[in-house]
Amino acid sequence: MKVLTRLAVISTALAFALVLGCGGKSSTEPKTDPAAAAGEVDAGNTALANGDYAAANEHFKTAIAKDPSNAQAQFGAAVTEVYLLQDDPELQSLAGQFQLFQPGALPVSHGRLARRVAFSQRVESLRSSVVGPYTPGRMGAAVVRTLALAGNEPDSISEIQAIVRTKVMPKLQYAEDRLNAAEAAADFRMFIDPAVTGLPDTLEIDKTELYLLDSVINGVQGWLGILTAYNFDVENSDFEHVNAESLLAPGTAWATLHPYGHLALVQAKNDFETVKARFDAAAAYLANESDDQANDLIPQEWLSTQDYADLADGIDQMYAALTGPILVPARDANDQEFDLQVDLGRFLVPGIDDLKKALPNHTFENGELKPVEPITFSTESGYGGPTVYGIFPDMTDARWQQLTGLTGPPPTLRATR
C-alpha cells in the first residue's frame, strides 16, 4: 500500500499531466526517409519552443511515419501526447475530482494563485505519502476513496471512467508504445536547445529519462485501470435519489467488476510491475553513465538523495506487495505498532467481483453507512471475511477490532447509553 501510495505519488506528479497521444497513424509507406524525419523533428522542436504542442505532436508523428527508427521523434511524440492530454479542457475539468483520491493531480483552476496553492498541496501530499509512517488508513486509500467518491458523486465517477477509458488510456498506451520504441534503440541521447526549453543551458535527455517516464506512465495506467475496472454507474442514471444504502444493497450492480474489469485489473497489476522494471532500469542506466552530468536533466547525484532512496524503497515494497504477502508495520487504534500481512496482488488478481462484499458488516443510519460494532466481516458464502479475499492473509475480526478501535460494545448496549 505504501507501495501503491508511492506509486500514486510518482504517477500523479506527472500523471494527469502526462498522457499520451491518440493513436498515431501507422505508416504504411514502405520506404523510410531519415533526412525528412530529422527535418520534422527539428520542426517539432521549433513548435515546442513556441509552445505549440499540437503542431509539435504532428511533426513528431510525421517524423515517425517517415522513419520509425528515429528515437527522438518517438520520444517527442510521447511527450507531446502527454502535454496535449494535460491541456485537454475536459480532463482539466475533471482533475479536481480526481485529486480527491489521487494526490498530485492537476489543479482545476487556471488561476495562478490557485495553481500555486494546489501545487504546494500536491507536493506536500506527495511528500507525506512517501516519507510518512505507514498506517492502515493509507492502505488501499485510493480504492477506498474511489468508493467514497463513487458513492458521493456517482455521476462524476462514471464520467471520469468514460473519459479515462476513451481518451486517456489510449493516449497513455500510445505514449508507452513510443517510449518502448525509443528504449529499443541501441542508444538514446538527445540535446534540447535552450531555444526550446527557455533555460540558460542545453539539456541532455537519455535513457534514464525514457525509463523514468515509462515507469510513471505505467503507474498512471495501473491506477486508471483500477479506477475503471468497477462499475459505479447508477441504475437509470437516477442521481437524484441515490444514497449509500441503495447503492450498497445486495445484488445491485454498483461496485461490481465491469465485464472487462478482470482484464483491466490484470493489466493494472502488470503495469505496476512494469513500474518497478522501468524504474530499476532507469536507476541502473543512470548509475552507469560515464559522461559529464552537468547538463543531464536527471543527474547521477539524484541517486544519492534520500528522496530517491525513499522512492526506490516504496516501489520495491509495492512490487513485493503485488507479488506476495509482505509484512508491513501498522499502528492500531491505540497507536501501538504491529506487523500486518498484506497481499496486494490479490486485489488485482483474481480480483474481487463485488466490492460491496468486501465491506465489514454494517447498517445504515439516515442513509449513511455505519459499521456494526464490534467490527466483523461476514464469512458467508461469497463474502471475503476478515481477510478481505486474502488481501490481509492473517487478519481476523479481533485484529480488525484492534486496528480500528471499533471493538464494541454491542449496538444494543450502545443504544442504552
Partner 1 sequence: MAAAHGPHGPAADAARHALKLGIPIAAGALMASVSAASCFAQAVPVGAAAFGSGAAPSFVTETIVWNGAHALPLETAPLALLGRPPAAFTSEWAPLYRGADGTRLEQAHQDVRVAASFGAWWAGADLASESSAFRGGQSRGESQWGFDAGAAPAQHGAVAAGIAQTRGAAAIATSIAADGRVGLAVEGRAMLAPAWSALVRASATPRDGALDVRWQDEAIESSGQWNEQRALARIDASVAAASLAATLEAFDRVPVRERAPADGFEPHLTWRGATLAASGAIGVVEVAAELRHGEGRQRIDVSRAGVPYAVAAGPVREDVAIASAGPRTGRWSARAWTGRSHDAASGSLALWPFDGIAAVAGTRYAAHTDLELQHAGVSIDGRAAEHRGWDGGLALWIVDPRGHYESWRGTLFALGRDDYGSDEFGAARAWLAGMRLARSQPLAWLRLRAEWVQWAPVAVERSREAAVLAGRGGGGDPGSDAHPAHARTWGGTVVRVAVELPRGSD
- Compute how many other C-beta atoms are within 10 angstroms of the C-beta atom of residue 272: 28
**Minimum CB–partner distance for residue 268 and partner 1 (Å):** 20
| C-beta separation of 171 from 81 below 8 A | yes
Closer CB to partner 1, residue 121 or residue 180?
121
**Minimum CB–partner distance for residue 303 and partner 1 (Å):** 10
Closer CB to partner 1, residue 293 or residue 378?
293
**Minimum CB–partner distance for residue 13 and partner 1 (Å):** 6
**360 prior amide bond cis, ω within 30:** no
Q: Please report how many Cα atoms fall inside a 13 Å half-sphere around the Cα of residue 408, on the Cβ side.
A: 6
**Minimum CB–partner distance for residue 20 and partner 1 (Å):** 12
Please give the helix or strand (H or E) that residue 72 lies within, else none.
Answer: helix 71-86
Residue 350 DSSP one-character state: I
CA distances from 236 to 6, 179, 191, 241, 391 (A): 37, 41, 54, 11, 33
Closer CB to partner 1, residue 69 or residue 293?
293
Closer CB to partner 1, residue 84 or residue 143?
84
**Minimum CB–partner distance for residue 10 and partner 1 (Å):** 6
Label residue 254 left, alpha or beta by phi (over 0 means left) and psi (-120 to 50 means alpha).
beta
Q: How far is CA 48 from the centre of its chain?
A: 27
Closer CB to partner 1, residue 215 or residue 376?
215
Q: Please give the Cα distance from 105 to 86 (Å, whole number).
A: 10
Closer CB to partner 1, residue 302 or residue 383?
302
**Minimum CB–partner distance for residue 313 and partner 1 (Å):** 12
Residues lying near partner 1 in the complex (CB under 8 A) = 9-10, 13-14, 17-18, 48, 51, 53, 79, 82-83, 86, 111-117, 119-121, 123, 126-127, 130, 192, 194, 196-201, 203, 205, 209, 212-213, 216, 293-294, 296-302, 304-308, 310-311
Q: Please give the Cα distance from 72 to 219 (Å, whole number).
A: 23
**Minimum CB–partner distance for residue 39 and partner 1 (Å):** 19
Closer CB to partner 1, residue 72 or residue 401?
72
Q: Which of 73, 72, 53 is nearest to 61 (CA)?
A: 73
